Amino acid sequence: MFYHDKQLQYTVRVDTPSPLFAKMLQQAIGGVEGEIRVMMQYLFQAWGSRGPTKYRDLLMETGTEEIGHIEMLATAVAMNLEGSPASVQEEAAKANPMIAAVLGGMNPRHFLSTGMAATPEDANGTPFDASHVYASGNIMADMYANVTAEATGRVLATRLYEMTDDPGMKDMLRFLIARDTMHQQQWLAVIEELGGTQGLPIPNSFPQNQELQEVSYTFFSTSVEGVEPPTGRWSSGPSLDGKGVFTTRALKPMGQEPKLAPPIPQGHAQTEQMTGGLSGALKNVTNRVEDAVGNSRRPDHGQS
Amino acid sequence: MFYHDKQLQYTVRVDTPSPLFAKMLQQAIGGVEGEIRVMMQYLFQAWGSRGPTKYRDLLMETGTEEIGHIEMLATAVAMNLEGSPASVQEEAAKANPMIAAVLGGMNPRHFLSTGMAATPEDANGTPFDASHVYASGNIMADMYANVTAEATGRVLATRLYEMTDDPGMKDMLRFLIARDTMHQQQWLAVIEELGGTQGLPIPNSFPQNQELQEVSYTFFSTSVEGVEPPTGRWSSGPSLDGKGVFTTRALKPMGQEPKLAPPIPQGHAQTEQMTGGLSGALKNVTNRVEDAVGNSRRPDHGQS
Amino acid sequence: MFYHDKQLQYTVRVDTPSPLFAKMLQQAIGGVEGEIRVMMQYLFQAWGSRGPTKYRDLLMETGTEEIGHIEMLATAVAMNLEGSPASVQEEAAKANPMIAAVLGGMNPRHFLSTGMAATPEDANGTPFDASHVYASGNIMADMYANVTAEATGRVLATRLYEMTDDPGMKDMLRFLIARDTMHQQQWLAVIEELGGTQGLPIPNSFPQNQELQEVSYTFFSTSVEGVEPPTGRWSSGPSLDGKGVFTTRALKPMGQEPKLAPPIPQGHAQTEQMTGGLSGALKNVTNRVEDAVGNSRRPDHGQS
Amino acid sequence: MFYHDKQLQYTVRVDTPSPLFAKMLQQAIGGVEGEIRVMMQYLFQAWGSRGPTKYRDLLMETGTEEIGHIEMLATAVAMNLEGSPASVQEEAAKANPMIAAVLGGMNPRHFLSTGMAATPEDANGTPFDASHVYASGNIMADMYANVTAEATGRVLATRLYEMTDDPGMKDMLRFLIARDTMHQQQWLAVIEELGGTQGLPIPNSFPQNQELQEVSYTFFSTSVEGVEPPTGRWSSGPSLDGKGVFTTRALKPMGQEPKLAPPIPQGHAQTEQMTGGLSGALKNVTNRVEDAVGNSRRPDHGQS
Amino acid sequence: MFYHDKQLQYTVRVDTPSPLFAKMLQQAIGGVEGEIRVMMQYLFQAWGSRGPTKYRDLLMETGTEEIGHIEMLATAVAMNLEGSPASVQEEAAKANPMIAAVLGGMNPRHFLSTGMAATPEDANGTPFDASHVYASGNIMADMYANVTAEATGRVLATRLYEMTDDPGMKDMLRFLIARDTMHQQQWLAVIEELGGTQGLPIPNSFPQNQELQEVSYTFFSTSVEGVEPPTGRWSSGPSLDGKGVFTTRALKPMGQEPKLAPPIPQGHAQTEQMTGGLSGALKNVTNRVEDAVGNSRRPDHGQS
Amino acid sequence: MFYHDKQLQYTVRVDTPSPLFAKMLQQAIGGVEGEIRVMMQYLFQAWGSRGPTKYRDLLMETGTEEIGHIEMLATAVAMNLEGSPASVQEEAAKANPMIAAVLGGMNPRHFLSTGMAATPEDANGTPFDASHVYASGNIMADMYANVTAEATGRVLATRLYEMTDDPGMKDMLRFLIARDTMHQQQWLAVIEELGGTQGLPIPNSFPQNQELQEVSYTFFSTSVEGVEPPTGRWSSGPSLDGKGVFTTRALKPMGQEPKLAPPIPQGHAQTEQMTGGLSGALKNVTNRVEDAVGNSRRPDHGQS
């Protein structure tokens, strides 16, 4: 359950309104790196949290803070739109074609749809789409998603910081960048608490002897022959989880050439596709088994 | 530039076709945790890669492998749809209402739109949307996005593994789970090479003295008064990056109550909204400055 | 700025978990009639509010309450998924084909993507899309949008109430239905305060003498000849705003047959489309003016 | 079934083509306040209409008129694109960088995808998405949706009117604004016929004694302590429907702190999340009942 | 401008209502192969039509017919939902778990959102998205798009025909399949009028000597070495347009290995990515030119 | 399974970087006419291919080539963004307002989200949506979809060619236009192999005597009375498939006026909609049958 305060978490001040900057700020509201996303991501992770209560609490605490960040940014957009070209007198616009040009770069919906206010969209006017809310039910996977969100969010905030000379906007962004620092740190802290990057692959509850371990630590190079695959921490030596040894191998097919059954009559493919009929379908099943079995026997071909 | 091989990377075999499992497999093709996403994410990261060439090469190598994973899964969907209820004789369907019920659980587009083949959609039939392709231009942010993708992808694959008893499908999933292990490991290896989780906040190229450092390592609790905030690695002690000390504080407003200017006449709000007019707008600007300045003076209130 | 309470606004209790009902409840979370929509709609209206402060405050108060409604519903989904078919032992599923059938009706992402928790999607798994957040900058238009949201939301809640026999779920819905009652009432109260349904057309700040008043109160019937148009409060008598008199008229064209200029060469239409060339373009402009002028002279035709 | 007339409903004339205005007009075609939306909304409401025939007829009449409004606007877009920068000679563009700048503000798809014609998108190029078609099966809810659509549509049309000096475009908009006046009036007339704003909450077929009436007319303030909630028609006095009395109350939790069962093994959460196991699940059910029961006993806490 | 008739274009009759079939029919309403798409596609092509008037008229004629097809299908959905499980008495549902299972396969929004009526969505509940409206401004490209729409539409209709035993539904589909026959034929007739499949490549207004003609009729095989590329009409002999001769060649790179400049400082990549700095950027430009020039000199490599 | 080559299929060179052209090029990457679409369309058609193997092989060959086209375009976008306004020194931007204006026309996400690299979006920043991947299971329908894709793709490429003076970009486009020529030709070649445009309507496996043949070759004019329908190859003479004769007829209703049953009580329509109750529902069924039967008897009305 939630409460609100009329005051903002941090001061929002715009010294020189800029409708172009208003458009840019939208990315931090409704973009995939933005605040609506983290707000919903942390809250949905909390609401579905199964496991130690403290992580649920942690997610709820920060998810709630993020609602206030959307509020700050929406306020900043509204303030940047005050005094914008669409609100200046027509004579000015006619006398100065520059104004019209800038107007062309403004988000049209900032005037047409909201009368000078923010929308839950990104800088291109693409509405926020909640499929970006990652909440997998696996806490480690979710923590990496959260670090990603705060890392891309902080990158975005520093780019916005570079785009403006407005002291008020720079001050607000200094605050948001610092909060992104903390939020990166806190999700990394949870990762550390839960075993860090050296733990078993995520999810650690799946017994590794059920995966095909002969390819669990193999770097497959898909380059054409004669090109050296890139080397680094991933190409040789012990794996990070200490459970295997990295090797590098050129990719070669381990599977068959797929053969699907002919189309079923009710699906109304072209008759030219259906020469096999039912007997073809049966034949196909036979082939498929033979292919699968025979696969180890077939001569090595591929790119070499 | 790309080449292909007619054979699959690993054998795909379906012993007992199941249209319901075909529907589930779609999540691994077109879901946010799926293979279309990682394929496009790694390739777009590679194509926009600025910096050491070896990371570009690494991304290209693995992005190319992922195309073949989509191929394996699309083949598995098509094979699971062979012998499905929509293809059995009508009499059977009439005699056995169960078949009709199962048919109801099938993805309708697997028959109606493709004639028994895969679509680039998730298990609910939501088409893949390329806004899920994260390529930020910051390699650390991207690597965390990649670990996230492989972690949620492996979680998904293990859940699919639990849902089927089909030996062929289990074998294919054993392969894909192992590849997800390697891909998690390799992106973590890049993170380690670039300084690991103990490095500066991402992006490390932004000078931290430009952020509002007094809140860079502060955990803000947004709980109502009287509730203890959750404690852990994030709540006290040195920060992970070694640049600060974690503290915990109850959230209190540091900003003003926002006051926007009245609507501009051309925006055609209701007249009841526009009592202030132009003088109001001027007054607003004055207020805003006063508010911002006076903010430090205002008595502490909030929730307490 | 926002705070939260660990306790829910109202008790959420599930006596007999039902994954099918979990799927249905998603409509109240992420559907167009759902709670994410009203939460974001009221908050964005508040954050962009220009005009009397009390309406901004009112929107903020209720927008904040709605976050807690999402929380209640997300909790209800998670609880309905406990004990669901995907979590029962495999033997049971094999022995009882009914379980498999029901499993087919479950939202697959409730298992595959979240491990038994809610998503920000509707009952068909379509992610919430923030273009549904209406915040026009005109307070009357917004209030009608809000009444609509609460009216369709209450209709949805009563339908969910009919679909379940679970006492816990019925109790939670009784609460939500009552809140929808209040929220309908409160937005209607704002409409009444601002002049009610008898006021000028929205927006009331546009001078009506600038609209083409000869068609401002005319009901145009688009039926084929010989069919009586429907009659009611809208077809004759004084208009609701008292500014006009309703009349009914058969639709007849008042405009020209449009003639567009030929394609520009750079647009690479087929050559067969471009016989006119530049002279055609000039001719077109002439035609267009003649058409517009001549329109009043042309004999009445149309459908009669 | 439908027929068409080659002539437009009203004259569309463009005196000075403007690709920027063409872009703006798209909001009235494919925006959420636009004509595709009302066309489809009224027609789908009509096609699913259950109840008095006259409302079905009314919806069909006006839905049909709206198709012609899309036609007018699409024609206006095409005419505004004639003579646009992309069609002027290259020399001009080079000599006058202003042209290039304006070109930058044009909708690129107006040239690239259509060769100078309208698209079913909004002013930002976001395609129309049919989830905006509200047709709830409850006629009152639908009528409020229709008033909303015409109110936001008329606000949009008046803003477009302010953005242009073109006499032809202003004349067309005068017509469309007048039609929006009539359509607002006619849907309000249906609301009046069906009982007006003083009727029972929508849907009026749900017995109010089944809702939790103690909160049906209560305004919950979610403000932090010490802040006065906004007062108005909604905060005290008789409710609009005459069935209750408005009261105002500070929000306090009436529900429990939610406790979900531990993750099921098949969902492959991290092992650190699964300490409870099956016994934990059982324990959880017990807890939940106790919590629900004990809720009335627990001491009041919260924000106070 | 448009008119309507209360009667349907063809009789819609449902003998045995089926909510599952109602769900399937949605694909023909709001699916990518459905009627909303063709309706909007033909009308937008007509409204943007530049060139011979008769094609504009033709598109308008058929676009108008399609509105009536949506009406027929929406009516069929509503009729199939009458008598559906959600409307049967609760006792029946409890006594017969089959009903509940079938209910699970129903489109939930058919009850929750519309109260038993059609939506503008496909069979999976994905809303129609107007980006599927192809109107390129090139009449030949558009005619192929129209043939595609009618071909996939007729395939869909025949599949729906196979899924139902209801005489009324079969009769309606017989009508729609026949109309799809005619519409395929008529768009093919326009293609024939405009030169048929033997004409110049679309668009025929682009001078072919400006394209890189050495690869205009070359089939590139992307197979690994040693695999025979598929042969057919496309692999040798004269091209269809009579302007060239088909040849088949193994794909080899004709371009350089791309080298992008290092990141700009304002973009805040990781410092590890930015070793090159400004001098690196200059060096990069030099390299790029050298690469492009040197490309012809480099030894043949690739897959062999 | 797939391999890659570090070199591009064809040289990509940018002589004068232009962020505006970078924005335009996005249409060829992620637009509906773009390369992501054809890549995925051909590959999904191949992976679901049932019927002669050579068509599967053909689709796989070309689908693989298209991945390399995305790579070329993504490289071209990244190169066009080098030296762009966002990367020039601030002083320059201030001194030259033109730069700011151009910056306004740039895709903001090219800086904010990617740090100067391509995204999988169109020129308006709308993310690619995989519902555009047509793979119907009917090879003729798919081939027409492929011709459409290559035709609209070539139209787009020629328009991009017209928009740039950059020699490098013109050279790259010359290559892509030529490839579009070949790909159009090859899909037309498959159509010819399978019977060409003179074959039976698609799908040719549906027996035409099951469709309502009396309207299979009839052009219905939906114009109001007195307007001559357009004449051409489609309006008279033998049909293209040789199975019928084209005729032209004015559209008249062949169906009933639809009457739906009253709302079910559980759907909570307004009480004013539910006068009929259960008896009404029964009456409705009766009416519907009578209407359907009586339809042939009813006097001719309609528009005349």
Return the structure tokens found at C126: 């379509």
F255 occurs within a structural domain? no
* Subunit partners of chain C (3 or more CB pairs within 8 A): A, B, D, E, F
- β-strands F245-250, F218-221: how paired? parallel
Flag whether residue C283 sits within 8 Å of chain D, measured between CB atoms.
no
Res E282 pLDDT > 80:
no
B158:D268 CB<8 A: yes
3-state secondary structure of D103: helix
- Are residues C164 and C224 both part of a single domain? no
Q: What is the pLDDT of residues D243-273, one digit of tens each?
A: 999 999 999 999 999 999 999 888 999 999 9
Flag whether residue F205 sits within 8 Å of chain B, measured between CB atoms.
no
Residue E99 pLDDT: 54
Provide the chain B residues 148-167 that lie in CB contact (below 8 A) with chain D: 155, 158-159, 162-163
- Are residues B219 and B100 both part of a single domain? no
Res A46 pLDDT > 70:
yes
Residues of F in contact with C268 (CB under 8 A): 155, 158-159, 162
Return the structure tokens found at D105: 């503000």
Query: How far, in Å, CA of A157 to CA of B138, rounded?
Result: 13
- Are residues E136 and E219 both part of a single domain? no
Residue C257 pLDDT: 96
Flag whether residue A232 sits within 8 Å of chain E, measured between CB atoms.
no
Nearest to F248 by CA among F211, F213, F225, F217: F217
C92 occurs within a structural domain? yes
For residue C4, give the H/E element and its range. strand C2-4
The residue with tokens 């290209």 is B60
Q: Is A35 annotated as a binding residue?
A: yes
Q: What is the pLDDT of residues C162-206, one digit of tens each?
A: 989 899 999 999 999 999 999 999 999 999 999 998 899 999 999
Q: What is the pLDDT of residues E50-88, one digit of tens each?
A: 999 999 999 999 999 999 999 999 999 999 998 655 554
Give the CATH number for residue F135. 1.20.1260.10
Residue E303 pLDDT: 38
Provide the chain C residues 4-23 that lie in CB contact (below 8 A) with chain D: 5-13
pLDDT-based confidence at residue A19 (cuts at 50, 70, 90)? confident
Return the structure tokens found at D212: 């939790």
C51:B265 CB<8 A: no
Q: What is the pLDDT of residues F144-195, one digit of tens each?
A: 999 999 999 999 999 999 989 899 999 999 999 999 999 999 999 999 999 9
Number of domains in chain F: 3
D13 occurs within a structural domain? no
Helix, strand, coil % (nearest 5) of chain F? 55, 5, 40
F258 occurs within a structural domain? no
Flag whether residue D170 sits within 8 Å of chain B, measured between CB atoms.
no
- Candidates A131, A156, A233, A268: best to mutate against E (most CBs of E within 10 A) is A268
The answer to whether B256 and B295 have CB atoms below 8 angstroms apart is yes
Query: How far, in Å, CA of E72 to CA of E177, rounded?
Result: 13
The amino acid that residue F61 corresponds to is: E
The answer to whether E16 and E166 have CB atoms below 8 angstroms apart is yes
Residues of E in contact with A163 (CB under 8 A): 266
F89 occurs within a structural domain? yes
Query: How far, in Å, CA of B8 to CA of B6, rounded?
Result: 7
- Are residues C138 and C246 both part of a single domain? no
Mean pLDDT across B89-105: 53
Beta bridge partners of A218: A247
pLDDT in tens, chain D (304 residues): 999 999 999 999 999 888 889 999 999 999 999 999 999 999 999 999 999 999 999 999 999 999 999 999 999 999 999 865 555 445 555 555 545 555 667 899 999 999 999 999 999 999 999 999 999 999 999 999 999 999 999 999 999 999 898 999 999 999 999 999 999 999 999 999 999 988 999 999 999 999 999 999 999 999 998 889 999 999 999 999 999 999 999 999 999 999 999 998 889 999 999 864 333 333 444 344 444 444 433 333 333 3
C68:A2 CB<8 A: yes
Residue E146 pLDDT: 98
* Subunit partners of chain E (3 or more CB pairs within 8 A): A, B, C, D, F
Residues of B in contact with D162 (CB under 8 A): 266, 268
**Residue-range definition of the domain harbouring residue A115:** 19-198
User: Taking chain F (304 residues) in consecutive chunks of 10 residues, what is each chunk's mean pLDDT?
Assistant: 97 92 96 98 98 96 98 97 60 51 76 96 97 98 98 97 93 98 98 93 97 97 92 96 96 96 93 62 41 38 35
B262:C51 CB<8 A: yes
| Helix axes B97-105 and E97-105, enclosed angle (nearest 10) | 30
Nearest by CB to F253, which of D1, D4, D115?
D1
Flag whether residue C101 sits within 8 Å of chain E, measured between CB atoms.
yes
The residue with tokens 């890392």 is A151
- Cα dihedral sign for A149, A155, A161, A164? negative
Query: How far, in Å, CA of D235 to CA of B277, rounded?
Result: 29
Mean pLDDT across C77-102: 62
Q: Is A193 annotated as a binding residue?
A: no
Mean pLDDT across E98-126: 85
Residues of F in contact with E193 (CB under 8 A): 232-233
Nearest to C256 by CA among D171, E61, D84: D171
- Candidates E81, E99, E113: best to mutate against C (most CBs of C within 10 A) is E113
Query: How far, in Å, CA of D129 to CA of E129, rounded?
Result: 5
- Cα dihedral sign for E298, E300, E301, E302? positive
Helices (H), chain C: 19-30, 35-47, 53-80, 90-95, 97-105, 108-112, 139-163, 167-193, 277-294
F64 occurs within a structural domain? yes
Residues of D in contact with F253 (CB under 8 A): 1
Return the structure tokens found at E253: 């790179």
Q: Is A223 annotated as a binding residue?
A: yes
Query: How far, in Å, CA of F114 to CA of F130, rounded?
Result: 22
- Are residues A85 and A217 both part of a single domain? no
- Are residues F152 and F96 both part of a single domain? yes
pLDDT-based confidence at residue E103 (cuts at 50, 70, 90)? low
Which residues, including other chains, have CB under 8 Å from residue C216's CB and lie 6 or more apart? C208, C243, C244, D178, D181, D182
Residues of C in contact with D181 (CB under 8 A): 201, 208, 211, 216-217
Q: F199 phi and psi, to 5 degrees? A: -75, 180
**End-to-end CA separation in angstroms for chain F:** 63
- β-strands B237-238, B218-221: how paired? unpaired
Residue E226 pLDDT: 84
Query: How far, in Å, CA of A184 to CA of A194, rounded?
Result: 16
The amino acid that residue F220 corresponds to is: F
Residue F103 pLDDT: 61
Cα within 13 Å of Cα(D77), Cβ side: 33
Q: What torsion, rounded to 10 degrees, do the Cα atoms A260, A262, A265, A269 define?
A: 90
The answer to whether D212 and C180 have CB atoms below 8 angstroms apart is no
Residue D226 pLDDT: 84
- Are residues B285 and B216 both part of a single domain? no
A26 occurs within a structural domain? yes
- Are residues C148 and C244 both part of a single domain? no
Q: What is the pLDDT of residues A107-121, one digit of tens each?
A: 999 999 999 999 999
Query: How far, in Å, CA of D87 to CA of F225, rounded?
Result: 39
Residue D86 pLDDT: 54
Q: What is the pLDDT of residues D147-192, one digit of tens each?
A: 999 999 999 999 999 989 899 999 999 999 999 999 999 999 999 9
Q: A272 phi and psi, to 5 degrees? A: -65, -20
- Are residues D97 and D226 both part of a single domain? no
Q: Is C162 annotated as a binding residue?
A: no
- Cα dihedral sign for C55, C56, C60, C61? negative
Query: How far, in Å, CA of C134 to CA of A159, rounded?
Result: 29
**ipTM at complex level:** 0.89
Which residues, including other chains, have CB under 8 Å from residue E136's CB and lie 6 or more apart? D113, D114, D115, E142, E145, F33, F151, F152, F155
CA distance D152 to chain E (A): 21
| For F112, nearest residue in chain E (alpha carbons) | E267
Flag whether residue B302 sits within 8 Å of chain D, measured between CB atoms.
yes
Integer-rounded Cα radius of gyration of chain F:
28
The amino acid that residue A248 corresponds to is: T
- Cα dihedral sign for C79, C85, C87, C89? positive
- Are residues F140 and F234 both part of a single domain? no
Q: F41 phi and psi, to 5 degrees? A: -65, -45
Share of chain B above pLDDT 70, in %: 83
- Are residues B38 and B76 both part of a single domain? yes
A11 occurs within a structural domain? no
**Count of CB atoms within 10 A of residue C209's CB?**
6
pLDDT-based confidence at residue B100 (cuts at 50, 70, 90)? low
CA distances to A131, E128, F59 from A276, rounded to whole Å, are: 42, 37, 21
The binding site of D for Ca(2+) comprises 57, 223
- Are residues B163 and B272 both part of a single domain? no
The answer to whether B54 and B146 have CB atoms below 8 angstroms apart is no
